Structure 1
């Protein structure tokens, strides 16, 4: 403070006046630009709390414009363009949106074509497997039978007596199970369900399947305690499509096959109640 002998504070210098000195003519004074007007020429991107806010802000703003920056060079004043602010996310043009739509439709078309190819592949696999069964059967007739075709006379099992006779033979002959699994493995199939149903259809008739369940409920034969169960599972896994299949998946499919045995071969239609046939109306005869 002045009372303590301190020097007075320095005076604030007046604002500088800027002039443009042309080659010919008197200097021209440049009017000062107010701060609010100067900020209107500047372009800045303020990052919000998330990238989405920054993208929205960028979409609402405009491109950076040159900001007149005065600099002294020999008493001359020149304008220097301000650096362009890098954009966070460029504005998408209608052409870019059209390109995205084309990419989405192209991806959908590729997926549809892929599914068609897979269906055709499954159909071809089934045809090749059926052809292999026919060729193997023909070779068995001409050459006296191979391991795969030697036991075609055993299957399909027609009744419980034939099933029990086979079970007794399987308990005595250890190599018979492998030969029977090779025989039933010729059924083929495009999926686990298709393979299991083909193998069981080749192993027994549907009349015998009606008297069998997985656990043997209601006095029926328990399939889980038969030697034939292991033969069926081994035959299913001989199909390359079912090599990696777990036993639970195969067992569940076997249960469903026995469960729906009553509906096959017209069983569902026979159980439906018979609807009375409407009698045609007779015209009254007048004497």
Structure 2
């Protein structure tokens, strides 16, 4: 990949989009992970206003420290970057007092995890509206169009997606070029939605290199029967996520009314 040219292309795309939309810049949720670090750095390179928001909800300390390290580094490098910290833990806890928590524990836990993402989306859009900013998405190609590993109307609720055409491995190449803190570069990817340090691989059951491979194999028309052992297992994991999360990757279905009924 021509990393420098890709960076220049994304930065130009971001700036052009923002100027045409007549906004002041971008707001990004900073998680302490590679995707938000790369996205925020790309936004900072536009020279437009950039607001980095950390939004902890019972967050693992390792995530918080990496997020703070990145924001501090970014502010030192770019005069157009500002920060805010919104502790959503009390909001999340109050929400839980108003809804039923009855049901299968794993189902409740997942529903609450998605609620965390949606509270953060609401916070980002509040600041976006207040300051005339666009919400920049941080999803990569594997997450957004491979396994659908994001929350619908949570971290999937954004105005534009600057890195969604890049595989996870390509995001890391950009991270290295953009001088993202080493602590983030070596950290295991995690969505941070459960209040602990569990990784994406822990949840999905396959690593990003395996998912990238599987995504490529599917595009080439391969089937499960073409593989054995771990390759077959990883390919099956990818296909299961791809199928079950397809509703996130396609436009909202609209019931079209026949003309003769109108």
TM-score (norm 1): 0.23
Q: Which has the higher contact order (CA 8 A, sep 6+)?
A: 2
TM-score (norm 2): 0.25
Greater Rg, structure 1 or structure 2? 1
